[in-house]
Amino acid sequence: MKQTPVTVVTGFLGSGKTTLISGVLGDTPDRRLAVLVNEFGEKNVDGEILRSEQLGHCEILDLEGGLIAYSQDDAFIPTLRELQRRRHRFDHVLIETSGLAVPTAVYVVLQSEEFAADFVLDATIAVVDTPLLLGGDFEAGTQGSEDAPSRAAVQALFDAQLEHADVVVLNKIDALNEYDLLRAEGDVRARAPRVRFMELAYGAKLDPQLTLGLHLHELDAGTHHHGPVRGVPGEESLPLEAQHLLDGHSHGDLGAHLHSMNTHVHFHVHDTGWQSFLLSTDTPQDPQRLPVILADIARKFPVLRAKGFAHINAGQTLTVQAVRTRVDSELREQAVPRSELVFIGYHINRKKVIQVLSGATGSTWE
């Protein structure tokens, strides 16, 4: 049996990974897909969203616990093992990494003795929130300024995700003009010159042919190679002369492999500045007011992402998706027993968020 291709979808918090994957799943009814969703936070909202679309040809598996780790991983490795046993049932595996992860740990696990013969990396796709990129939100701030640590942490992660991508998808581009797109492409190329393809996703839609079955790493599968692809035409496809620039990601022997594991640990040591917490309440929420309140909270505190479900009444639920101060919400005819929102940010103060949220909504959040 051929190796099962694995596509890794990475991208910063709220860039549109789940939306994009959901579109790909909808467009590929003929493929049997397994989707592994890894979220940073106590609750897997993305997994629930994908499952709610009821796509019979896909199996959605949650990976709890934040970041996929190199070893002693109690979520990713057992799940992959489980998929390995049922490999004949799937044509392709998609892994959505958390918005705070760099996908190198996934590569190392895929290349390990246990999995290398059965799985092969197809491509790593990084999804970019283009308006935020153009707005300078992924730039480090002025040294000494109050938000400098948070901005530096955001930039480091954003750049690291791009650095490991084969394909970068410029997302949320619906309202952008050609000049903006060229500027965004230039910015990405300057940060990550080794990216192979740039794609534009209008309305978070991408042709599945540009997403699945790219075979960008197949020729290298036996040689533990995650660097430039040798099988794709064009000058970008040539291997880099200075392979050491790949920071341990292109290697043909075990020594280099071990080296790569060591050099990448720093990306996965959890930066304790990143925090996430789940707040919930039993009190029904006002669907008009809640989004306004959440935008206000993102203005007051370093909350970069908030998402979840709010209980409105016996028959209605508000799905809430906030990326910084931009809050999307949607009323659904579906009941949830209580409101649950996940907040993610850099050094956010849970108590202060509770205070403002409880005061503004007139409910006790805890």
Ligand X SMILES: Nc1nc2c(ncn2[C@@H]2O[C@H](COP(=O)(O)OP(=O)(O)OP(=O)(O)O)[C@@H](O)[C@H]2O)c(=O)[nH]1
Q: Which residues bind ligand X (CB under 6 A)?
A: 11, 13-19, 39, 46, 99, 171-172, 174, 201, 203-204, 305, 321, 323, 328
CB of 77 to ligand X, least distance (A): 21
Secondary structure letter of residue 113 according to DSSP: T
Nearer to ligand X, 10 or 104 (CB): 10
Taking CB positions, which residue lies at the least distance from ligand X?
Answer: 99
Q: What is the largest CA-CA distance in the chain?
A: 63
CB of 129 to ligand X, least distance (A): 7
Nearer to ligand X, 28 or 321 (CB): 321
Nearer to ligand X, 29 or 203 (CB): 203
E strand or H helix that includes residue 281: strand 274-281
Structure tokens, 148:
């400098």
Place of tokens 């809430």: 320
Nearer to ligand X, 11 or 248 (CB): 11
CB of 13 to ligand X, least distance (A): 4
CB of 197 to ligand X, least distance (A): 18
Nearer to ligand X, 15 or 250 (CB): 15
Nearer to ligand X, 12 or 70 (CB): 12
Q: What's the full length of the chain, in residues?
A: 366
CB of 169 to ligand X, least distance (A): 10
Q: Which residues of 27-48 are buried (b: 16+ CB within 10 A; e: fewer)?
A: bbeebebbbbbbbbbebbbbbe
Give the CA distances from residue 65 to residues 27, 73, 120, 280, in Å, rounded to whole numbers and listed in that order: 29, 10, 24, 19
Place of tokens 């639920």: 317
CB of 205 to ligand X, least distance (A): 8
Nearer to ligand X, 212 or 261 (CB): 212
CB of 265 to ligand X, least distance (A): 22
Nearer to ligand X, 171 or 211 (CB): 171
Cα dihedral value 169, 18, 213, 95, nearest 10: 110
Nearer to ligand X, 100 or 110 (CB): 100
Is-contact 57 31, C-beta < 8 A?
yes
E strand or H helix that includes residue 200: strand 197-200
What is the distance between the alpha carbons of residues 360 and 148, in angstroms, rounded to a whole number?
29
Secondary structure letter of residue 6 according to DSSP: E
CB of 328 to ligand X, least distance (A): 4
CA-wise closest residue to 127 among 291, 17, 4: 17
CB of 326 to ligand X, least distance (A): 8
Give the CA distances from residue 111 to residues 72, 195, 216, 220, 224, in Å, rounded to whole numbers and listed in that order: 16, 21, 15, 11, 7
Is-contact 14 171, C-beta < 8 A?
no
Which sign does the torsion angle of CA 67, 71, 75, 80 carry?
A: positive
